């Protein structure tokens, strides 16, 4: 399918913007009887060092948007810029962690070899590869013994740590995560949420995290971008003013967390009940 050409030049993003999504539109089956406008017009920015969560009702186009950002799917119009450069296909500057960790790791390779592989294929010298693999594994709390094991010898939660280590070892400008913890049990999920916040802080990453879980979106990020139902627009961009140090019990039982959670919940309900609509209300 051929993408529509953007008629007017889009405004250049400010310099501390790492990722810029501008008027992104995605129509599946354009010009066919099955034409479906999944994403109408999405614009938002991710600044250097931000941790932003994206939530929306089921079918609101979260995966479509993430694939367009990652260069895995061509937008119908609009554009994505990474460090000022237009994304026109898969790029080293963007690493993606998907939900299906089991399918994303090679079972015949050790954990260390899985993490090292993308570095090898992109020509990183051996000594630097070793150092980057060790740093990435340490960042996700996997020790030397775990590094020598095979993915199938590990629990689901540990496999997802390997996938995260592989993504961060590539030192991407932005780490994209598509519902990465949806397939693990609740306790492991909490541990992985804290782990990803630690990785974000210690390695100074910029993260865009897609989730359908309202609590997770509020707990993890510094901002929550709420999507409308399809055809999708940004319904609300909500700053999360919780303390930087978060704790699964303390933070989640705080009054502010409950307020923010209730607010995002109402937004999602509004999105479900107003398909394709935008609104005038602002974040409280
Ligand atoms: N290849 C495709 N062809 C046609 N329509 C599609 C295609 N992929 C997705 N869609 C439609 O686009 C809309 C957005 O889908 P998408 O999977 O991006 O949403 P989502 O928010 O990630 O959903 P969920 O929360 O259920 O995972 C849905 O209505 C879906 O049916």
Interval 115-125 mean pLDDT: 93
Its pTM stands at 0.90
> Has residue 270 got a pLDDT over 80?
yes
Interval 178-192 mean pLDDT: 90
Mutate to test the pocket of ligand 1, among 1, 28, 75, 100 (most ligand atoms within 8 A of CB): 28
Residues 185 and 264 in one domain: yes
Q: How many domains does the chain have?
A: 2
Distance between CA atoms of residues 243 and 223, nearest Å: 13
Compute the half-sphere exposure of residue 5: CA atoms within 13 Å on the CB side of its CA: 3
Kindly report, residue by residue over 8-54, the tens digit of the pLDDT.
455 555 569 999 999 999 999 998 999 999 999 999 999 999 999 99
pLDDT bin (cut points 50, 70, 90) of residue 274 is confident
Quote the tokens at residue 40: 């109408």
Query: From ligand 1's centre to the CA of 67, what distance in Å?
Result: 11
Q: Is residue 1 part of a domain?
A: no
> Has residue 222 got a pLDDT over 80?
yes
Distance between CA atoms of residues 272 and 258, nearest Å: 21
Backbone angles phi, psi at 133, to 5 degrees: -65, -45
Neighbours of 223 (CB within 10 A): 17
Q: Is the dihedral of CA 87, 92, 94, 97 positive or negative?
A: positive
Cα-to-chain-centroid distance, residue 188: 19
With beta carbons less than 8 A apart as the criterion, state whether 193 and 115 touch: no
Residues 127 and 260 in one domain: no
Of the candidates 52, 57, 80, 10, the one whose C-alpha atom is nearest the C-alpha of residue 231 is 57
Backbone angles phi, psi at 22, to 5 degrees: -125, 120
Which residues span the domain enclosing 61? Answer: 17-93+172-273
Asked if the interface predicted TM-score (ipTM) of this complex is over 0.90, the answer is yes
Mutate to test the pocket of ligand 1, among 59, 180, 216 (most ligand atoms within 8 A of CB): 59
Q: Whose CA is closest to atom 28 on ligand 1? A: 59
Residues 115 and 255 in one domain: no
Backbone angles phi, psi at 186, to 5 degrees: -60, -40
> Has residue 60 got a pLDDT over 50?
yes
Q: What is the DSSP letter of 252?
A: T
Final residue in a domain of this structure, among 121, 138, 171: 171
Query: Ligand 1: does its nearest atom lie under 6 Å from the Cβ of 71?
Result: no
CB-based burial, 157-170: b 16+ in 10 Å, e otherwise: bbbbbbbbbbbbbb
Distance between CA atoms of residues 153 and 159, nearest Å: 9
Residues 81 and 118 in one domain: no
What CATH number did the domain enclosing 262 receive? 3.40.50.300
């Amino acid at each position: 399918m051929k993408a529509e050409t953007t008629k007017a030049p889009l405004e250049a993003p400010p310099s501390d913007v790492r990722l810029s999504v501008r008027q992104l539109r995605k129509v599946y089956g354009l010009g066919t009887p099955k034409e479906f406008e999944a994403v109408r017009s999405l614009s938002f920015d991710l600044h250097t060092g931000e941790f932003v969560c994206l939530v929306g009702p089921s079918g609101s186009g979260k995966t479509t948007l993430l694939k367009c950002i990652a260069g895995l799917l061509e937008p119908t119009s609009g554009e994505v810029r990474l460090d000022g450069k237009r994304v026109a296909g898969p790029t080293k500057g963007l690493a993606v962690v998907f939900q299906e960790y089991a399918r994303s790791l090679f079972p015949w390779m050790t954990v260390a070899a899985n993490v090292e592989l993308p570095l090898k294929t992109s020509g990183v010298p051996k000594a630097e590869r070793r150092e980057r693999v060790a740093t990435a594994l340490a960042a996700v709390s996997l020790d030397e013994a775990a590094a020598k094991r095979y993915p199938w010898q590990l629990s689901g939660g540990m496999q997802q740590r390997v996938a995260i280590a592989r993504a961060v070892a590539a030192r991407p400008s932005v780490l994209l995560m598509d519902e990465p913890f949806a397939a693990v049990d609740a306790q492991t999920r909490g541990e992985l949420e804290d782990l990803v916040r630690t990785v974000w802080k210690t390695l100074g990453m910029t993260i865009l995290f897609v989730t359908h879980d309202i609590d997770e979106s509020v707990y993890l990020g510094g901002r929550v971008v709420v999507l409308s139902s399809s055809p999708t627009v940004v319904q609300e961009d909500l700053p999360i003013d919780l303390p930087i140090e978060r704790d699964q019990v303390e933070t989640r039982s705080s009054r502010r967390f409950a307020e923010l959670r209730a607010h995002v919940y109402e937004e999602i309900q509004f999105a479900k009940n107003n398909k394709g609509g935008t609104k005038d209300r602002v974040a409280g």
